[in-house]
Structure 1
Amino acid sequence: MLIPGFHQRRSWLVFLLILIVGLNLYFNFSYKTPVDERAMWIDQFFAKVLRPFQFAILKSEQFTKNSAGSLTELFQANSENRRLKTQLQAQALELQLMEELRLENQRMRVLLGFKEAQKNSFLPVKVIATDPSALFRTIIIDRGESNGVRPSMPVINTNGVVGRVFEVGLWSSRVLMISDVNSRIDAIVQRSRARVIVAGTLGGGLGLRFLPRRQDIQEGDLLVSSGLGGLFPAGYPIGKITSRRKNPNDVLEDAEVEPLVDFNRLEELFIVTNFENQKG
């Protein structure tokens, strides 16, 4: 069993032994050797004794310098990485904004071409809000009485009929979409010229109700506004018939209509300003 501290005490004993031997040799030679030779011999002796310690200290200094240099380089690399990451994020955001501007410009060109191709007068508007409730299918636009907007004016986009103005404020207005269950629009089948009434459904879609069985209507037929009823000008697309369904009495049928307008993605619209409401 080793005595605690034995190795440490042994190291000190060895060191003292070397020191005693060195001093003994020094004093023995000091009387027999000239001064210059004694000095040279002492330098050589201590150089040999201290060389391992000097080497260890030198290596330790080099390691410390290398470690400090590595840490500095690592810190600089991390800082550069963070800077580049921030720069990339900023560039990604800038590209996203540029893409949104490009898409908006593209939509504006389509709207401009659509407006120039029509005989009606239009007021461009933007959707600024939607009705959060499920009771009404309405949107709010950024034009009102101060811009010449009046109740019952038709609202369309480049795909077809959207709805009509039913509430007007000074700077904004509310539009009732044709997909609202309270909405009705007089229409015709473009192919057969059959007259029908398009109504909004509870699910926010469109449909035809109580159709005579002999009505010339087929799946895929396009429905356009008839101009009758005094609410919408004639010729604007509404939707396509997707199916017909018989009622239990076998006399009348229903039909489902797929709207051409995506009511969940409305942004830029037109108000038809030169169509006078002739209803009544």
Structure 2
Amino acid sequence: MEFLGQDRREGLGRKAHSRFVLVLLILVSVLLLLSSLYSAQASVFKKAREGVMDVASPVLSLFSGPISYVNGVVGSVGDYFNVMEQNKALREENAELRQWMNEALELRETIEVYEALQGYAAPPEAQPISAFVIGESNDAFARSMIVNAGRANNVEVGQAVVDENGLIGRIVEAGGGASRVLLLTDIQSRIPVYVEGVNVEGILVGNTRAQPVISFTASADDLEPEPGQRVLTSGAGGALPRGLPVGVVTGENRGDITVDLYANYARTRMVRVINYAFPVVDHISDEEEASEAEEADSQADAASEPPAED
């Protein structure tokens, strides 16, 4: 009986050990199976990704060019507006500096005259009238502008019209609230001018082109202005104030001097009409002239007499 019980216990022990080994083998098999499946799945996903990349690569290459171009255009547009703002600021600064330059040159010329004459009488002050350009009339021959200032603003025919750069023309028609400005390039425009540094004056003649010409008098045959010299209004005939900047000499065309105007009509939006009161010479009658001559002679005789001795 003891042997039977011992065999039964040994048989049960072997069975339990076998079950443990079986369970352990099953667990190892499951782990190996999961590992192989994970590796296979990772390999499948990797291959799928590689396949998608291979398929998408030509498409991405096709669209990368337009996308880069669009990005470049957008960046260029931004740079363009930045450059436009900088150019606008530089143009405003240049116009202001040009105005200061013209005033400084005019002041220097005035000082030279003052030093030469040892005396100075201030000219009449000009009263500028601000106006906006509200219309233009440009055809084969006519070159003119309409401004929103007229007789109600003390605008009169013949007054000079300037912008921030220089003279652009003169008033030829003055209505109640608007006036017409004849531009320097109009074929009917005639403005008395002189070239700075040259003693001979001339007439600036419009020719419907961007650069009018100076027609000099017969006494200016030997005159040879150099390019870059300034052209100013001469004030001859009392038509316009003297010294308004007009432009610079650029060269010669068939015996006439071409002038590059300071004014840029394409950008002219605001102008000033120069309301300038020219001095009037009072007429002296013959009697007053004779009395003044007698008084001057008496003063001269008194000055020429020797002093009385004590």
* TM-aligned CA deviation for residue 203 of structure 1: 3.0
Q: Deviations over 1:188-240 (max 9, x none)?
A: 56556444333112434323458437655333376543323443122334454
CA distance in 1 between counterparts of 2:86 and 2:220 reads: 54
| Paired position in structure 2 for 1:38 | 22
Which whole-Å CA distance do the structure 1 matches of 2:80 and 2:156 have between them? 43
Residue 88 of structure 2 corresponds to which residue in structure 1? 100
Structure 1 runs not aligned, ≥5 long? 1-30, 66-77, 246-253
Q: Percent of counterpart pairs with the same letter?
A: 18
Give the conservation status (yes or no) of the 8 Å contact 2:130–2:273: yes
TM-score computed with the length of structure 1 as normaliser: 0.57
Q: Kindly indicate which of the two structures has a greater share of residues assigned to helix.
A: 2
Q: Which amino acid aligns with 1:137?
A: R
Residue 189 and residue 49 in structure 1: after superposition, are their counterparts in 2 closer, same or farther (change >3 A)? closer
Q: 1:181–1:99: structure 2 CA closer, same or farther, 3 Å change rule?
A: closer
Flag structure 2 segments of 5+ consecutive residues without an equivalent.
Answer: 1-14, 50-63, 108-122, 281-310
Matched, 1:255 2:239: no
Q: TM-score, normalised by structure 2?
A: 0.52
Mapped to 2, the partners of 1:210 and 1:102 lie a distance apart of 36
- Cα distance in 2 for partners of 1:259, 1:181 equals 16
How far did residue 56 of structure 1 move? 1.9
Cα RMSD between the aligned structures? 4.9
Task: Work out the number of aligned pairs and report it.
Answer: 229
Change (3 A) 1:35 1:95: same
Match of 2:272 in 1: 270
Alignment of 1:217 onto 2:223 = yes
User: Does 1:228 find its partner at 2:236?
Assistant: yes
Written as runs of structure 1 = structure 2, the 5 A alignment for 1:1-280 is 34-58=18-42, 93=81, 96-97=84-85, 100-101=88-89, 103-104=91-92, 107-108=95-96, 111=99, 119-125=125-131, 127=133, 130-141=136-147, 143-145=148-150, 147-157=153-163, 160-168=166-174, 173-188=179-194, 193-209=199-215, 211-212=217-218, 215=221, 217-220=223-226, 223-238=231-246, 239-240=248-249, 242-243=251-252, 245=254, 254-264=255-265, 266-267=267-268, 269-275=271-277
What displacement does 1:258 show? 1.6
1:271 aligned counterpart, secondary structure: strand
CA gap of 1:167–1:44, structure 2 versus 1, over 3 A, is same
Inter-CA distance 216–94: structure 2 relative to 1 (3 Å threshold)? closer
SS at match of 1:165: strand
Q: Residue deviations 1:60-112, cap 9 Å, x none?
A: 578999xxxxxxxxxxxx9xx999x9799658635643652454255346547
Q: Which amino acid in the other structure matches residue 261 of structure 1?
A: Y
Match of 1:144, as an amino acid?
Answer: A
Secondary structure, in 3 states, of the residue corresponding to 1:135?
coil
Contact kept, 8 Å, 2:214 with 2:259, in 1: the verdict is: no
| Distance in 2 separating the partners of 1:277 and 1:180 | 29
CA shift, 1:181, in A, is 0.7
Range with bigger deviation, 221-230 or 85-94: 85-94
